[in-house]
């Protein structure tokens, strides 16, 4: 070979006869660096650009497998036009999956396509013999005996037909049923398989649809002034279940540090009897693998988990990777903590906030391997006690590499584990945590109040580039955040915000009983901290108060359970309404057999009215017949006609409609029948 020519042949090309190209595979997160997220049982739709030089026909397929499988399964792709191809497969098991695309120049498809266009008789007879050879080759590749025999007969018949009438030859050559059989056994010797195996995680249903309720176990006592126990928590479960929550989230349940303990309302000096912050973890009694002695024993904890399960509730536990100054880790592993210039350990701070009672871990320690192993073992310890859901405190202040490794380690043994990232931080950091493996994430919903803010943000969450991996969990309040709208908006604001959280997001949560009991006083003007915050003291809650929103929340959560449209974010669409102080949106199932329209008055002080515009065609509703809107919050029914309809909402009664759309089946006299 001429040396100059040899130098022009690309190094590393395995076979120059490979002509197919695969590009622009979707879904893919960062080109396959991170996993796409789906729910077990979902149909995963995969698309790619597949093409080759010239005019030959292509064959394309999605190759997919659960990582526990040895063999790949195959889903043939169909052309969409403009060299775009699509196929789907069902992720039928929880856990990690892989998929990729294979494409090849398909000699049989090309022959059949050209044969159908030929008109010259001599060309047809020659082409028939070529086709018979291709069909015979497919027969040799067929592993199914029935397919093999069918193809052998077809090849023989085609050779015979080549000597007969042209019309008969065409019928034999273009037999559609047998062509499908031949296409099941393509010649793949020159196929190109995309080099990236794209990862996918199939989570259990609660990853997509969950309803969280947070409360402090130490405030669960029915007796004022007494420290609550896990047995008191068991007694609270019927109350939580009646409100329709399926996840109970407990702040840290470990011993609380005594050194530098905070007092009431975050006072630097604790008074005798002050209980401290549960997030200041660790004392002489133990650390992250210990229970606070006043809560009870591990037997009590397991009883609580079992009792919750009997109510259809899972227990979520807080994972806060930080230590009180008297945590055993501080004396046993001082190298795991960052030192100040004077040799003391650096406490946590986010200026101007200071957390003198908390020591953060140093993720740049030379002993990082041992520290990583110990911290991951904390999660595994609580999994051993029946917990499968974890809310992770401030994960954005810990190493990204640690989270990717630790979550993968846990999921390798317990793929049903759910991790919620409490990361109120910069958008790209929140998205990175989701890519690294966090199942759900807190959101900015707490600070989105206007129609424009809510529309823009939730459109991004439902349909933006992060929708393949970022699952929002909307909270109108937390123990750390009492937003201004709840401080000044009164009962109407509390009702409106919980409706927005529960209907805009398939995952949402509340910090209670503060929420249903309308806790709204800040520690000081301009602060989002609660006055008399449970983070620093025991509270006693009167759950039977007549002004409680518990009944309203229960009706709202029943609507979520009974309407599949509210259990996903994929269908969210905002509807025009001619009043800026109102917002309207719809969710629906793919088959449009369940449609829910929500309208909320965003003005907590005064009634508002407006015309809502329904997208009748998109929602599958008739343009010339009435349809029923059943408001499940007030159990009221409205007959709507056409695209524009009037809505009026008074926050003194209810600031929202959550309406199930029911199409009319038939009309007899003056009665309308709906399903």
Report DSSP state, residue 57. Answer: -
- Token pair 């929500």 is at which residue? 598
Strand intervals (E) in 106-246? 192-193, 198-203, 210-214
The structure tokens listed for 339 are 């030192």
Print burial letters for 612-637: b (CB count within 10 Å at least 16), e (below 16): bebeeeebebeeeebbbbbbbbeeee
- The 10 Å Cβ neighbour count of residue 383 is 17
Q: How far apart are CA 228 and CA 384, in angstroms?
A: 24
Q: CA end-to-end span of the chain, whole Å?
A: 78
The SS3 call for residue 376 is helix
The structure tokens listed for 537 are 């003291």
635 is catalytic: no
The structure tokens listed for 419 are 């991790």
Strand intervals (E) in 91-162? 95-105
- Cis before 290 (ω within 30): no
Rg (CA), the chain: 31
The length of the chain is 675
The SS3 call for residue 379 is helix
Closest to 398 measured CA to CA, from 389, 386, 406: 406
Q: How far apart are CA 383 and CA 226, in angstroms?
A: 29
Query: Which residues pair with residue 350 across a beta bridge?
Result: 353
Contact in structure between 361 and 336 (CB atoms under 8 Å): yes
The SS3 call for residue 382 is helix
- Token pair 């309720």 is at which residue? 213
Contact in structure between 648 and 607 (CB atoms under 8 Å): yes
- Token pair 């046993």 is at which residue? 332
Q: CA-based angle 561:563:567, to the nearest 5?
A: 70
Q: How far apart are CA 200 and CA 189, in angstroms?
A: 28
Q: Which of 393, 608, 628, 631 is catalytic?
A: 393
Q: Which of 422, 516, 628, 631 is catalytic?
A: 422
214 is catalytic: no
- The 10 Å Cβ neighbour count of residue 278 is 23
- Cis before 150 (ω within 30): no
Q: CA-based angle 445:451:452, to the nearest 5?
A: 90
The SS3 call for residue 55 is coil
| Crossing angle between the packed helical segments 145-161 and 176-183, to the nearest 10 degrees | 130
Instruction: Name the residues annotated as catalytic.
Output: 393, 422
């Amino acid at each position: 070979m001429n040396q100059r020519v040899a130098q022009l042949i690309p190094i590393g090309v395995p076979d120059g006869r490979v002509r197919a190209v695969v590009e622009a595979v979707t879904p893919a997160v960062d080109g396959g660096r991170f996993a796409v997220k789906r729910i077990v049982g979902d149909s995963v739709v995969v698309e790619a650009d597949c093409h080759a030089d010239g005019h030959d026909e292509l064959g394309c397929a999605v190759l997919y497998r659960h990582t526990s499988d040895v063999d790949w399964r195959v889903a043939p792709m169909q052309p969409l036009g403009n060299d775009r191809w699509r196929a789907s497969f069902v992720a039928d098991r929880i856990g990690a999956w892989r998929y990729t695309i294979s494409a090849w120049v398909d000699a049989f498809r090309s022959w059949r396509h050209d044969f159908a266009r030929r008109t010259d008789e001599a060309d047809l007879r020659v082409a028939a013999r070529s086709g018979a050879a291709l069909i015979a080759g497919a027969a040799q590749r067929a592993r199914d005996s029935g397919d093999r025999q069918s193809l052998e007969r077809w090849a023989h018949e085609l050779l015979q037909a080549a000597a007969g009438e042209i019309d008969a030859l065409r019928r034999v050559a273009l037999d559609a049923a047998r062509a499908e059989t031949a296409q099941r056994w393509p010649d793949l010797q020159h196929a190109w398989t995309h080099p990236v195996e794209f990862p996918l995680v199939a989570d259990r249903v609660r990853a997509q649809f969950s309803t969280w309720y947070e409360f402090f176990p130490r405030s669960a006592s029915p007796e004022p002034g007494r420290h609550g126990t896990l047995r008191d928590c068991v007694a609270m479960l019927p109350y939580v279940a009646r409100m329709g929550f399926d996840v109970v989230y407990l702040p840290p349940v470990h011993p609380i540090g005594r050194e530098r303990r905070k007092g009431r309302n975050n006072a630097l000096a604790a008074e005798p009897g002050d209980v401290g912050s549960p997030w200041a973890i660790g004392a002489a009694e133990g650390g992250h693998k210990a229970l606070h002695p006043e809560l009870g024993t591990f037997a009590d904890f397991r009883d609580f988990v079992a009792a919750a399960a009997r109510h259809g509730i899972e227990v979520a536990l807080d994972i806060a990777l930080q230590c009180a100054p008297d945590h055993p880790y501080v004396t046993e592993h001082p190298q795991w903590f960052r030192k100040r210039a004077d040799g003391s350990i650096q406490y946590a701070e986010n200026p101007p906030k200071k957390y003198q009672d908390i020591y953060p871990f140093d993720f740049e320690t030379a002993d990082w391997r041992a520290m990583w192993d110990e911290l991951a073992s904390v999660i595994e310890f609580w999994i051993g006690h029946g917990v499968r859901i974890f809310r992770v405190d401030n994960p954005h202040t810990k190493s990204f590499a640690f989270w990717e490794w630790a979550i993968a380690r846990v999921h390798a043994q317990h793929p049903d584990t759910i991790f919620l990232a409490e990361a109120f931080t910069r958008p790209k950091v929140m998205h990175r945590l989701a890519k690294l493996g966090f199942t759900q994430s807190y959101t900015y919903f707490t600070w989105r109040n206007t129609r424009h803010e809510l529309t823009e943000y939730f459109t991004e969450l439902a349909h933006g580039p992060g929708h393949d991996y970022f699952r929002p969990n909307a909270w109108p309040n937390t123990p750390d955040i009492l937003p201004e709208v709840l401080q000044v908006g009164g009962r109407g604001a509390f009702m409106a915000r919980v409706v927005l959280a529960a209907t805009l997001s398939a995952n949402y949560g509340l910090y209670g009983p503060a929420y249903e009991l309308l806790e709204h006083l800040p520690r000081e003007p301009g602060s989002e901290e609660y006055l008399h915050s449970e983070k620093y003291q025991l509270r006693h809650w009167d759950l039977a108060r007549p002004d409680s929103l518990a009944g309203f929340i229960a009706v709202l959560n029943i609507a979520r359970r009974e309407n599949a449209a509210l259990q996903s974010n994929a269908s969210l669409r905002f509807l025009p309404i001619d009043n800026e102080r109102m917002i309207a949106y719809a969710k629906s199932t793919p088959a449009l057999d369940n449609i829910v329209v929500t309208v909320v008055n965003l003005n907590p002080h005064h009634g508002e009215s407006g015309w809502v515009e329904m997208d009748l065609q998109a929602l599958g509703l008739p343009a010339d017949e009435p349809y029923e809107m059943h408001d499940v919050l007030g159990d009221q029914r409205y007959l709507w006609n056409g695209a524009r309809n009037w809505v009026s909402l008074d926050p003194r009664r209810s600031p929202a409609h959550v309406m199930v759309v029911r199409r009319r089946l038939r009309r007899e006299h003056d009665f309308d029948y709906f399903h």
